């Protein structure tokens, strides 16, 4: 077993996975639901991510495997219709995340260069083109994907921390600062629901699990990698939310919902600030698409290897797993037919359900992993509560998102049941 991933690299995998396109895509959505309480919404989502990271730490230490989440679910439930369906949901959730990142790219890019005089057409052209480009890079060289990701993490963090520094200074005497007052917050339930809709902005820490077998000094560094990256991102997101809500009036945020971070840089830095943040968003979403395409095709391959998908998914197409091509095609379809809120809701429902189940596995395997049983149990209960509140809130404001989520989960179970039934018949 080769140990060649340092603590610094493991933390950057976690931060890079979370601060991908998520914050650029969902910040405006969070403000539209939570208003002045947006920083609290990000805190709620962050607490759920932190609770879940405890289960990931313990499971990663006991069962280090490049299959990560897939292996943990199989460890807890064996190879069954249930574990197969949940692992398929993980793959589909990767596709939804890819759609979210492509959607963010398509929203930011026309602000830099309009191709037609119609923003909707531009959105579809850019969102589709970036998926095709990232897929081509994945086919060309996996090493290039890794290089792009390592540079992109540094660039986006420098720009976001710069945005925080200049933005915080710009808050002095800004009349919009009053929007952060408790009187402008939505109800606690609404704040919690907002946090769950944008939970996708945190899901990337689970990528550390895939790197666990290669992390140096795993006993010490696996917990540090998870906790440091999640806590850093919680603080980063909360400050970004404070600066955004304190910089722009709510009506302006609503108008620029899909590219609000670039709009928030304008009061301090004018057009240059808008352009810099737009470029950062394009780099971030592009690197996130690149890495998630690779991750999604790996998940698909692992599931087929574990006999939870037909073995055809283990075959190669142009020297890469066929899952890469299928993942890219499915992303192209989703990003062109669903809106941002529906994509975000479906992604959050998928990951909260998966994390709830991983927490339950953490509880179930507590004796083997040497865990405190209470923390994974609390994480599992919190995920269940989050799902109920999220579905209830979205049922009232975004019924399409709820229907899409339920249909996706249903299809994962039905397809796994059909596959297992056919497999049994053929043996």
* String of DSSP letters for 315-329: SEETTEEHHHHHHHH
Which of 361, 265, 292 is CA-nearest to residue 56? Answer: 361
The pLDDT value recorded for residue 427 is: 65
C-alpha 420: how far from chain center: 30
In whole angstroms, give the CA distance from residue 304 to residue 26. 32
Q: Hey, is 5 helix, strand or coil?
A: strand
The pTM is what?
A: 0.90
Segment holding 214, helix H or strand E? none
In whole angstroms, give the CA distance from residue 98 to residue 383. 23
What Å distances lie between residue 370 and 7, 61, 110, 362, CA to CA?
A: 22, 10, 51, 10
Residues paired with 5 in a beta bridge: 215
| Interior angle at CA 285, CA 283 and CA 289, nearest 5 | 115
Q: Supply 68's token pair.
A: 């990560």
DSSP 316: E
Residue 143: count of CB within 10 angstroms of its CB:
8
CB 159 within 8 A of CB 261: no
Q: Hey, is 164 helix, strand or coil?
A: helix
In whole angstroms, give the CA distance from residue 26 to residue 340. 8
In whole angstroms, give the CA distance from residue 249 to residue 244. 9
What would you report as the CA-atom Rg of the chain, rounded to the nearest whole angstrom?
Answer: 21
φ, ψ at 185 (rounded to 5°): -80, 150
Which of 61, 34, 35, 58 is CA-nearest to residue 45? Answer: 34
In whole angstroms, give the CA distance from residue 105 to residue 62. 38
Residue 427: count of CB within 10 angstroms of its CB:
5
What Å distances lie between residue 303 and 44, 245, 297, 331, 352, CA to CA?
A: 31, 42, 10, 19, 20
Phi-psi region of 307 (alpha: psi -120 to 50; beta: other; left: phi over 0): left
The pLDDT value recorded for residue 1 is: 42
Q: Supply 230's token pair.
A: 């999640």
| Residue-level pLDDT, tens digit, the chain, 427 residues | 445 888 888 888 888 888 877 788 889 889 999 999 999 999 999 999 999 999 999 999 999 988 889 999 999 998 889 999 999 999 999 899 999 999 999 999 999 889 998 989 999 999 999 999 999 988 887 677 777 777 888 888 888 888 898 888 888 888 888 999 999 999 999 999 999 988 988 988 988 898 888 888 999 999 999 999 999 999 999 999 999 999 889 999 988 888 888 888 888 888 898 999 899 889 888 888 887 888 788 888 888 888 888 878 777 777 777 888 999 999 999 999 988 889 989 999 999 999 999 999 999 999 999 999 999 999 999 999 999 999 998 898 889 999 999 999 999 999 999 988 888 887 6
The pLDDT value recorded for residue 361 is: 96
């Amino acid at each position: 077993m080769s140990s060649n991933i340092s603590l610094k690299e493991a933390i950057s995998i976690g931060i890079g996975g979370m601060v991908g396109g998520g914050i650029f895509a969902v910040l405006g959505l969070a403000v539209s639901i939570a208003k002045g309480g947006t920083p609290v919404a990000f805190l709620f989502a962050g607490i759920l991510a932190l609770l879940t990271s405890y289960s990931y730490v313990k499971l990663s230490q006991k069962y280090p495997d490049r299959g990560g989440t897939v292996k943990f679910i199989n460890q807890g439930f064996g190879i069954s219709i249930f574990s197969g369906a949940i692992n398929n949901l993980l793959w589909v959730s990767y596709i939804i995340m890819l759609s979210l990142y492509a959607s963010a790219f398509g929203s930011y890019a026309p602000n830099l260069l309009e191709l037609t005089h119609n923003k909707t057409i531009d959105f579809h052209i850019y969102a589709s083109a970036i998926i095709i480009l990232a897929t081509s890079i994945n086919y060309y060289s996996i090493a290039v994907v890794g290089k792009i990701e390592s540079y992109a993490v540094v660039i986006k963090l420098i720009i976001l921390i710069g945005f925080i520094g200049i933005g915080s200074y710009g808050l002095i005497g800004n009349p919009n600062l009053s929007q952060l007052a408790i009187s402008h917050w939505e109800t606690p339930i609404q704040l919690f629901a907002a946090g769950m809709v944008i939970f996708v902005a945190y899901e990337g820490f689970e990528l550390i699990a895939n790197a666990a077998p290669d992390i140096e000094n795993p006993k010490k560094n696996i917990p540090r990698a998870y906790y440091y990256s999640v806590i850093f991102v919680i603080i980063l997101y909360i400050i970004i939310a404070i600066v955004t809500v304190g910089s722009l009036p709510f009506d302006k945020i609503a108008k620029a919902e899909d590219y609000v971070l670039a709009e928030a840089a304008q009061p301090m830095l004018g057009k240059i600030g808008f352009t810099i943040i737009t470029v950062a968003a394009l780099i971030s979403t592009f690197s996130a698409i690149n890495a998630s395409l690779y991750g999604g095709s790996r998940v698909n391959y692992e599931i087929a290897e574990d006999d939870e998908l037909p073995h055809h998914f283990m075959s190669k197409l142009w020297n890469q797993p066929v899952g890469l091509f299928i993942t890219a095609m499915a992303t192209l379809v989703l990003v062109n037919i669903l809106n941002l809120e529906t994509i975000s809701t479906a992604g959050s429902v998928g990951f909260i359900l998966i994390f709830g189940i991983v927490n339950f596995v953490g509880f179930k395997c507590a004796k083997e992993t040497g865990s405190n049983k209470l923390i994974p149990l609390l994480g599992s209960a919190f995920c269940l509560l989050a799902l109920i509140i999220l579905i209830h809130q979205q049922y009232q404001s975004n019924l399409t998102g709820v229907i899409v989520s339920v249909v996706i989960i249903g299809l994962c179970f039905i397809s796994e049941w059909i596959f297992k039934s056919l497999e049994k018949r053929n043996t």
